[in-house]
Structure 1
Amino acid sequence: MSTLNGRAGGGDAPVARVHRVEVAAGQRWLRLAVHDDGIPEFSLVVLDPHQRVRAQYWGKAGDEQVVVGPDPLHSSCGTVAGPLPAGRWRVEVFGAAGGDSQASYSVRIDCGAGDVPAGTLPPVGAHRWDAAGAGAGPLRLQQTDLTRRARRGRAWYRGDFHAHTRASDGQQSAEALNRQALERGLDFFSVTEHNLLTTGWPVDDLLVVPGTEVTSSAGHFNAIGVHRWLDWRQHAADGGCAAAGGMVRLLRDTRAQGGIASINHPLLPPWEWRWTDTPLDAFDALEIWNDPTYPRNEEATQAALRLWSRLWDDGHRVVGIGGSDTHLLPHDSYVPGGPPSVIGDPWTAVFADELSVVAVVDAVRAGRAYLSRGPVLDVRAEVGARRYPPGSSVTAAVASHPGGTAAVRLLA
């Protein structure tokens, strides 16, 4: 057994510490008993001797037990199940700067060759997305097919692009959140844990889009539809999520692997986007509507709409999407006696060629999306006798058409 201890916070610089532990041959499971006293953005990344990510953990200001087991039903959410190679493992500890005083953390590690102990977090689930030791790089979702059709046919599909489970700071398990999404009539949603790439899911009765909420002390963005781990670590050469250059690299990495990068709650304090030198061509979308039930979000949403309008006025074709940013249990509210904060409030409808991860991402990238808390729209644009799908540019068609006019109908 090894015990790692440290302190963080209360300063101007983020913490990034590396601990090393030895794992003997023949071990079947590894357990981390984690405690933190409330370090801002406290998180762990555990790498095996082959430098593959085997555990990701987002702090919960308390005690949790994280288990890396032989299979996804005996391995905690956020981990990569499978054989444990003998040798020197790395436990990397991260936290944001800030706070009035330093807080402590401890990580107690033990291993065993017998029965796998239960962790305090839900398991990865029956449907594994990752593969321990497969492919190049620290972590890839090689066992999920992003082109798999959950439904055929071009249509409007309703979903949510911002959701959390107990794998980071949400209060629901993946299974409970999935059930609530089905009850609310969603066709898909994106699971976007803080600095964590989800490695599997308990059920497959709904399209779940893999993603990550890249989380920094100066703003968050969602990497939606990604299949490789984004190296946000603060000791990266460019500073990772703790530096402007690192955040731009992460935004561009998202797009390079086929995902879309969306700036989250861009003007909602204290999580507003403060990386002021971010190139406007580095992100694809703006979360213009975040959880309408959250205090101060009405003002923040109006500010985001004004920002979005200015971007379009200046020629930047940034797509507007929404996200519930769900964290709470189904009947809980941020305001005593107030409305519950639930997945799918608001929802985003996308006009996609089919219901698959790739098709949903492509629809957003093309601008075929709108947001709602209830009303359903049928958006049609016509120039002469030709109809254009949502997201199309009709400037050239209008200019070349006699009379130069377009008809746009919104059918609620």
Structure 2
Amino acid sequence: MRIHHHFSAAGYEVFPVTISVRNVQGIDITLCAGPFEHYFLVVKDPRGHIRAVLTWKTRIRDYHIREAFNAGSNNTLPGEIVDGEWTFTVVKPGFISGEIEYEVHLCASVQDDPQPNAIAVLDKSWDEIINPHAGWYCGDLHAHSAWSDGRVSLQQIHRRARELGLDFMALTDHSIITTHFPADAPILIPATELTFDNDVHYNVFGVRQFIDYSRYFAGAKSKNEALTTLHRDIAATGALIAINHPFAAGISLAHDFDLRAIHLLEVINAPHLADQPIDNEKAIRFFDFLWQRGHRLTAVGGSDAHKENGAGIYPLGQPLTKIYCKALSIAGLLSGLKNGHTLVDNGANCRLTLRQSSEEIVPGSEVRGSVEFEAHSEVPALVWRLLHNGECIMERAGREFTACVNLEPGNYFRLEGRLDNQTVFFASPVYCQLPAPEEYRFSVLRDHFLAADSSSNHCLSSCSKLKIQ
């Protein structure tokens, strides 16, 4: 059965179709035609269970829903092919025009080649401990495969992650969730990058099930209403939401939503790109702007890798996000992210130790009193910058950095390292009793930041003076 839809000029549309299924062993879906853009197909069985969420922004066209996990495709879930009315809903979340077609084939019998050694990503126990030791664990929180708009297979990503010795990674294909991944990989945090347009992109870490986009766009009065409800519901499940590459070329930041559902901000994105289309320094200034107003977002980074570079290397881990965990597990990583225990490192190989009264603490800690900073880098020419409430108070060059600060209520300190006028190391702040935010609307905060930032001098040649112990 071939299904056709016409996209109008409307900002978002939903197209449900019902197909009667009787006595079949599988369902095959082919995305036949349509613009290479971010819109989705949500497939539900008669029990209301979502069995597939697919995107048209992929070069993969054929998908298989099966009873057995190893016989089904990535982006689908296994289970009984229930007799009854199945719904196939196309969700267009942005201004996209044109004609689309997809084909649904009901298979009376199937002869599938099982996928070898694949793990069921959404079935993995979050409490399974891979390493019982407390410490810093390294990974990449932003990467793409050919299942959305990337150019590499899951096997290539798996191989590269093992070559790098990553402890974890998040595969954040656009608006879809990876369900099948090669076994014996680093911990894979179930994740997706919510991508409805080029206004704002959001990574979601710790998803437990498919997202029914049709539910949010079918009756919404506006896209911003759909976003706010979607963010709220995702946050209520315990998943963590990041604002990605806020100042990348082409990103308008035109969304409006409640910032209470947002947990993370991507401060270093894709620094490996030769043409540098992403203003990470502006993202860092936005991070400080939000912290100065009581929004304690966790700093994260991600390679946003889509394809191999000119040397034939998939740039996974550029940069790394390092998360402090009491033990290495999915639950431990998510807890570290939620609590701000993060470092972002783009090839500087930095170590940071924070001490208070001879006891070690970690970034993201809320403390009062004297805190010692001690950092080391393998990059000899690194320029260290210590910031107090977003303002640089100390700058030193070299491999080593030490300082002692006094944390009092309403203040935060953080450390960064720079090389060739780019931030290559970023530690989430330590802080003391920051006031609660007065404003949560993203559009208001965005406008205030852009107005202030446009009138500021961003010269980094000098630091203000503050008494440091």
Q: TM-score w.r.t. structure 2 length?
A: 0.74
Aligned to 1:267: 247
TM-superposed deviation, 1:53? 0.9
Tell me which amino acid in the other structure corresponds to 2:304.
D
TM-superposed deviation, 1:45? 1.0
Aligned to 1:348: 321
8 Å contact kept, 1:192–1:211: yes
Deviations 1:146-180 (A, max 9, x none): 11112220011001111222322222222221111
Q: Which has the larger radius of gyration?
A: 2
1:107 to 99, 102, 114: 102
Deviations 1:251-305 (A, max 9, x none): 2333322221111111213235322x33332211101111113366465211101
Aligned to 1:187: 167
CA separation in 1, counterparts of 2:115 and 2:252? 32
Q: 1:61 to 1:282 in 2, by over 3 A?
A: closer
Aligned to 1:149: 129
Following superposition of structure 1 onto structure 2, how do residues 161-200 of structure 1 map, counting pairs within 5 Å?
161-200=141-180
8 Å contact kept, 1:268–1:296: no
Q: 1:235 to 1:315 in 2, by over 3 A?
A: closer
TM-superposed deviation, 1:93? 1.0
Deviations 1:80-136 (A, max 9, x none): 12321111111111224435xx42221221122323357xxx95963224xxxxxxx
Unaligned runs of 5+ in 2: 378-469
Aligned to 1:134: none
Tell me which amino acid in the other structure corresponds to 1:114.
S
8 Å contact kept, 1:3–1:109: yes
Aligned to 2:442: none
8 Å contact kept, 2:14–2:217: no
Aligned to 2:22: 24
Aligned to 1:402: none
Q: TM-score w.r.t. structure 1 length?
A: 0.84
Tell me which amino acid in the other structure corresponds to 2:201.
H
Q: 1:63 to 1:361 in 2, by over 3 A?
A: closer
TM-superposed deviation, 1:341? 5.3
Q: 1:125 to 1:200 in 2, by over 3 A?
A: farther
Q: 1:387 to 1:147 in 2, by over 3 A?
A: same
CA separation in 2, counterparts of 1:310 and 1:124? 48
Tell me which amino acid in the other structure corresponds to 1:325.
D
Q: 1:327 to 1:168 in 2, by over 3 A?
A: same
Aligned-residue sequence identity (percent) comes to 24
Q: What is the alpha-carbon root mean square deviation over aligned residues? A: 2.5
Following superposition of structure 1 onto structure 2, how do residues 13-412 of structure 1 map, counting pairs within 5 Å?
13-25=11-23, 27-38=24-35, 40-60=37-57, 64-98=61-95, 102-116=97-111, 126-129=118-121, 141=122, 143-217=123-197, 218-233=199-214, 236=217, 239=220, 243-275=223-255, 277-294=256-273, 297=276, 299-328=278-307, 330=308, 332-333=309-310, 342-394=315-367, 396=368, 398=369, 405-412=370-377
Q: 1:410 to 1:95 in 2, by over 3 A?
A: same
CA separation in 2, counterparts of 1:317 and 1:291? 23
Deviations 1:359-399 (A, max 9, x none): 011111111111112222322222333332332123x2x1x
TM-superposed deviation, 1:354? 1.3
Deviations 1:176-225 (A, max 9, x none): 21111111221100122222222232213321110121112231111101
CA separation in 2, counterparts of 1:28 and 1:285? 43
8 Å contact kept, 2:12–2:217: no
* Count of residues in Structure 1 that have an aligned counterpart in Structure 2: 376
Q: 3-state DSSP class of the match of 1:78?
A: coil
Deviations 1:43-92 (A, max 9, x none): 21111111111122111476711111232222111011232111111111
Deviations 1:329-353 (A, max 9, x none): x3x35xxx8x955111111011111
Q: 3-state DSSP class of the match of 1:262?
A: strand
